[in-house]
Chains A and B, each alone.
Chain A
Amino acid sequence: MPALDIPFFGTLVLSLILVSASYTMAVAMGAGQGRPHLLPSARWGTYATCALVLVAILVLAYAFQVHDFRIRYVARYSDRSMPWWYLITSLWGGQDGSLLWWSFLLSGYTFFAVRWLRGRYTELQPWVIATLMSILIFFAILMLFAANPFATYIRTTPGDGEGLNPLLQNYWMAIHPPVLYMGFVGWSVPFAILVAAMVTGRLGNEWVRAARLWSMIAWTFLSIGLLLGCLWSYEELGWGGYWAWDPVENASFMPWLVGTAYLHSVLIQERRQMMKVWNVFLLFLTFFLTIFGTFLTRSGLIASVHSFARSDIGQYFVWYMAFLLIAIAALMIWRLPKLKADNEIESLVSREFAFLLNNWVLLGMMVFVLIATTFPLLSQWVRGEEVTVGPGFYNKWMVPLGIVLLFLAGLGPLVAWRKATGSKLLRAMAFPVGVGLAVAVLQALFGARLGYPPVVEPTEIYDTATGTVLAWMSAIAPGVSFATCAFVLASVGQEFWRGVRVRMRKGEGAGTALVNLMSKGRRRYGGYIVHIGVVFMFIGFTGAAYDVEQESALRPGETMDIGKHTVRYDQPRMETDPNKRMIFTDMTLLDESGNEDGQVAPGKFIYRTHPQMPTTEVAIRSRPAEDVYVIMSTVDPSTQRGTFRIIIRPLVAWIWFGGIVLLFGALLGMWPTGRELLRDEAPRSRRFRFSPATAVVGFAILLATMIAWVGVASAQNDSSSSLHAGSVVINDPVERQLFGRLLCQCGDCARLPLDTCACGWADDKRIEVRERLAAGEEPTKIQESYRAQYGAAALAIPSDEGLDRALWAVPIAAMALAVGFIVLLGRRWQRRGVAPRASTASDTSEKIEYDSRLDAELDRLEES
């Protein structure tokens, strides 16, 4: 290969991908239009296309390893000092390479999906292949004409590369983007299956079954990818939080919300053949949002810490999204008559209706996030004024909605399918509600003493009645959240107990009953375990209400007190490697009796290729009750005096633990049944055959490998870094509220409010604002003058007047309308009633015969 012109060869392979995918798409469409002999040909065409994408990614990986700096992308995102593992992560470290990485993952999914489809869902296959190829064609066009990862420099080739952004040289960054991409790209397969069902008109349960495993895989990857993103933000960005409602975070969160709604509502279709249009809409929307999210990330239209450079590829995405919208709308209109429900909801007190409410909250949250994320653009277009929607806005509105969603996660399992008996439901709710109330009372009595009061200090984002209502809602949120968590845990626990009791009545022991219960109802109990994981995560989120932070300047040997801890600064030290200089400050944590309780070493890294961007390495001592999060802001080499910011973050570890539980629940839900495993072995025991069993096992192995990779990577580089972490002193609640509303205007710190940003400009501005407050100036006046001086975009939260009010009024109105519509629809369904299809077996002896056959089938089902 060294004799080969790598840039030329890479571009040639990209062209071949385009040709091969187009050819395969044409052949597959031919197969779908009455020429079945073309189907095997389309299958082999798919394998060829996937192999070509593999060639492209391996060639780029090779170019990184041999430092082929003729290739612009290699020169921009690597340098000679980088270790091999970061040379691999550079593949997705920049725009062009990440598009190739995206295509690679898509081709992987395509290969496995087409292998899996062999011998099943034959009518859908041609259109699944054609749809997947069409997506690959789009990415091939993007790479060839707008973002070629093999493009070369026009004139001279640099002797060394610019190096990967230091923020990306972190083990979480090695795993977070691939997992998140797996989640994004994974939705292509269920989308393709749906398109195939729409084109062929096979809109019964067939496509739902075919898409089930793939949507579960995509959802699980997306969930874990989002969590890993939180971990990266927490450890890497070093501002002390894990979620900043950054547009790119929102772009990943939106498909997750809609995908979650789909996974719930599709259960209704599977059981009752209802809500077909709705499920089609949700799955289309989920896929569309993955493309929209990629567009937001890539176009650079909205300011974000994650954004790639502003580029031309945005227009390609706009055209593709327009095409998708038109195609989806046309398919839906065409197939509307075939999407009529076969049944109706029998009662508003039923699992089906609980799922409808769950969909309502999830979609409501999505609309909130969508409008808030795109509001800066809308404002710019409509009135020519730039605005910013900061985390404060999201936190205030999303917390109550999140708690409602959590409550529904506990309520749903208690309600029976079709029609719950009112008295039985009340009896089922008694224990979980009792546990929730008991936790609320205990927290009211002892919470403040333990550091977890049920009500925290209210902070207003608006100086209006809306602001006051929101402030009080967020003030009581910790108490309500803990009580709701207890309610959900008790509800799920009760479901397990009831299930075990039913089996024990049949003569099984408690342990056997629990194992059988879970193995025979994997989806149901896997889902419940996912709910438990979500509860643990909510416990962690709620802990954010009790954060304590403090900053001090210390000399070696001096201590600072925070919460129950005392932290002693021991000494600074320096280490070097070929890539960077590392300055650490050794610190010792002391308990209340003065005994040593652990060591931490926050630091700063100065990378050879980015000396102007020293990164701040946070040190975290994590315990179930709280994390001690230490940031070294500065250290003076001559006096060894350091400035440190320490944050006590209660309960954060529960978020990560919840993620592990969620993963376990998802895997249990996906795990194949005994029949599926047997079907794997029976016909061709010696040959490898792809099936749900191999898919799930492969998925588990992949995740385990990724986790192992994190272990290896973390052993090689056990630290975290930040470009923005620094020293921010907040003296009182008035300052916190005001600084939280004002954004840094230095030009480099996009979206960082003054209560977080540690740059020099922000320091000076805080001093100025403090002086004005001390002089008796009202915070609202200071805010107004800041807006007048720097424009509306300088405020973290738009005002609560005029068009700005649409930011919350539109989603609230949409949700109110939707809930009215849901209730009306439910009532209409109920009035109409259900007309069961008359049994054709009218003869009594025939009826008895069918009943005995049904009983035999039920026994078979129980034993499987």
Chain B
Amino acid sequence: MAEYLPWLFVIGASLAVVVALISLWLSLSLALSDELLGGARAQLTTDVRRDLLTEKENLLQEIRDIAFEHDADKLSDSDYEEINAKLRAQARHVLHELDVGAGPFREEAEALIAERLSDEG
């Protein structure tokens, strides 16, 4: 082992040098071009919808946990109903916001589908 180890390090270091050089070359060529890869510009827009989806997931998790804690006898019926009602009201609000926000996308999608269908006859 001891005799081969230095050569393993040499090979490893040489490969790493090659990787470093290729990566640097790619980095520089991308920096100097104005081309967008992978729809980066689209991804860089602020995404209100994503925040709403996160909030929805959190609320669903909370509603599930509150139900579990009620079933596990940690919450009285009245406390459970009060908290559950609050959480559901918030969740409905988030769903509504999502629906409102999805309107333009849905219209666009429907238009695209209609166009495609008419093209295909």
Quick one: CB contact mask for A16-57 with B, threshold 8 Å, 1 for yes? Answer: 100010011001000000001111111111011101101100
Contact B20 A55 (CB under 8 A): yes
Q: Mark B62-81, 1 if CB is under 8 A from A, else 0.
A: 11111011011111100100
- Chain B contacts of A424 at CB under 8 A? 73-76
Stretch at the interface among B2-10, B102-110, B111-119: B2-10
User: Is A854 in contact with B91, judged by CB distance below 8 angstroms?
Assistant: yes
Q: Which residues of A contact B96 (CB under 8 A)?
A: 839-841, 850
Of B10, B27, B63, B65, the most chain A CB neighbours within 10 A belong to B27
Closest to B43 in A: A122
* Given A48-B24, A52-B20, CB of A271 within 8 Å of CB of B13: no
**Interchain CB contact under 8 A, B90 and A837:** yes
Q: Enumerate chain B residues within 8 angstroms of A1, measured Cβ to Cβ.
A: 10, 13-14
Q: A209 an interface residue at 8 Å Cβ cutoff?
A: yes
In the bound complex, how far is the Cα of B71 from the Cα of A61, in angstroms? 59
Expressed in whole angstroms, the minimum distance between the Cβ of A705 and any Cβ of chain B is 16
Q: Is B49's CB within 8 Å of the partner chain A?
A: no
Residue A423 lies at the interface, judged by CB distance under 8 Å to chain B: yes
A858 touches B64 (CB 8 A): yes
Q: How large is the interface on A (under 10, 10 to 19, 20 to 34, 35 or more residues)?
A: 35 or more
Contacts of A841 in B (CB 8 A): 92-93, 95-96
Helix, strand, loop or mixed for chain A's interface?
helix
Mark interface residues in A369-398 (1 if CB within 8 Å of B CB, else 0).
000000000000000000000000000000
- On whether the beta carbons of A122 and B16 are closer than 8 Å, the reply is no
Name A427's contact: one of B10, B66, B73 (CB within 8 Å).
B73
Q: What A residues does B5 contact at CB under 8 A?
A: 65, 84
Interface size on B, residues (CB 8 A): 65
For window 727-779 of chain A, which residues contact chain B by CB distance below 8 Å? none
CB distance from B10 to the nearest CB of A (A): 5
User: Quick one: which of B23, B54, B65 contacts A44, CB cutoff 8 A?
Assistant: B23
**CB nearest neighbor in B for A9:** B13
- Chain A contacts for B65, CB-based, 8 A: 417
**With A58-B9, A271-B61 given, is the CB distance from A37 to B40 under 8 Å?**
yes
Nearest-CB residue, chain A, relative to B79:
A421
Q: How far apart are A39's CB and chain B's nearest CB, in angstroms?
A: 5
- Chain B's closest residue to A835 (CB) is B86
Asked whether A41 lies within 8 Å of B89 as measured between CB atoms, the reply is no
Contacts of B28 in A (CB 8 A): 41
Interface residue from B13, B21, B46, B91 paired with A58 (Cβ < 8 Å) = B13
Least Cβ–Cβ distance between B59 and chain A, in angstroms: 9
Nearest B residue to A30 by beta-carbon distance?
A: B31
A408-422 interface mask toward B, CB cutoff 8 Å, 1 = contact, 0 = none? Answer: 000000111111110
Asked if residues A206 and B54 are in contact (CB atoms below 8 Å), the reply is yes
| CB atoms of A840 and B33 under 8 A apart | no
Complex contacts, A428 vs chain B, CB 8 Å: 73-74
Given contacts A37-B33, A58-B13, A858 and B60 within 8 Å (CB-CB): yes
A47: chain B residues within 8 A (beta carbon): 19, 23
CA–CA, A123 and B46, complex, Å? 8
B39 to A: closest C-beta gap in Å: 9
- A788 interface residue, CB < 8 Å from B? no
Give the distance in Å from the alpha carbon of A761 to the alpha carbon of B54 in the complex. 66
Q: Is the CB of B17 within 8 A of A55?
A: yes
What is the distance, in angstroms, from A320's C-beta to the closest C-beta of chain B?
A: 26
A836 / chain B contacts, CB cutoff of 8 Å: 86, 89-90
Asked if A340 is at the interface (CB within 8 A of a chain B CB), the reply is no
Q: Mark B20-51, 1 if CB is under 8 A from A, else 0.
A: 11011011101101111110110110100011
Is the beta-carbon distance between B41 and A36 smaller than 8 angstroms?
Answer: yes
Stretch from A179-187, A498-506, A566-574 contacting the other chain = A498-506
Bound Cα distance from A224 to B40, whole angstroms: 39
Given A37-B36, A204-B54, A417-B66: A861 touches B73 (CB 8 Å cut-off) = no
Report chain B residues within 8 Å CB of A862.
64
Known: A40-B37, A55-B20. A45 touches B27 (CB 8 A): yes
Task: Evaluate contact between A861 and B61: CB separation under 8 angstroms.
Answer: yes
Say yes or no for A606: interface residue by CB 8 A criterion.
no
What are the residues of chain B within 8 A of A122 when measuring CB–CB? 40, 43-44
Of B21, B37, B71, the residue contacting A502 (CB under 8 A) is B71
Q: How far is the CB of A611 from chain B (nearest CB, A)?
A: 25
* Contact among B2, B27, B51, B73 with A206 in the assembled complex (CB-CB below 8 Å): B51
Which residues from chain A contact B31 at a C-beta distance below 8 Å? 27, 38, 41
**Is A854 touching B88 in the complex (CB atoms < 8 A)?**
yes
Cβ 8 A contact of B20, one of A39, A43, A48? A48
Q: A122-B44, A841-B96, A861-B64 are in contact. Are A421 and B27 (CB under 8 A)?
A: no
Q: Are B19 and A62 in contact (CB under 8 A)?
A: no
Q: Is A510 an interface residue (CB 8 A)?
A: no
Q: Tell me which residues across on chain B come within 8 A of A425, comparing CB atoms.
A: 74
Bound together, the chains give a CA A24 to CA B72 distance in angstroms of 52
A326 to B33, CA, bound (A): 36
Q: How far is the CB of B90 from chain A (nearest CB, A)?
A: 6
User: Chain A contacts of B75 at CB under 8 A?
Assistant: 416, 419-421, 424
Q: Is A270 an interface residue (CB 8 A)?
A: yes
**Residues in B neighbouring A37, C-beta threshold 8 A:** 30, 33-37, 40-41
Check B95 against A854 for contact (C-beta < 8 Å).
Answer: yes
- Give bound CA distance, A836 to B22, whole Å: 55
Given A37-B40, A51-B20, A838-B89: A62 in contact with B34 (beta carbons within 8 A) = no
List residues of chain B with CB within 8 A of the CB of A51. Answer: 16-17, 19-20, 23
Q: Which residues of A contact B61 (CB under 8 A)?
A: 271, 861
Supply 7 further A-B pairs (C-beta < 8 A) apart from A43-B27, A416-B75, A851-B88: A1-B14, A37-B41, A48-B20, A59-B9, A204-B51, A851-B92, A857-B56
22 contacts between A and B (CB under 8 A): A1-B10, A1-B14, A20-B20, A51-B16, A58-B12, A59-B9, A62-B6, A62-B10, A65-B5, A271-B62, A415-B74, A421-B74, A428-B73, A498-B73, A838-B93, A839-B92, A840-B96, A850-B95, A854-B88, A854-B91, A854-B95, A858-B63
What residues of chain A have their CB less than 8 Å away from a CB belonging to chain B?
1, 16, 20, 23-24, 27, 36-45, 47-49, 51-52, 54-55, 58-59, 61-62, 65-66, 83-84, 119, 122-123, 204-206, 209, 270-271, 414-421, 423-425, 427-428, 498-499, 501-502, 505, 834, 836-841, 847, 850-851, 853-854, 857-858, 861-862
Q: Please name the 8 residue pairs, one residue from A and one from B, whose CB atoms are nearest each other, closest first.
A: A44-B27, A48-B23, A51-B20, A122-B43, A41-B30, A41-B31, A58-B13, A62-B9
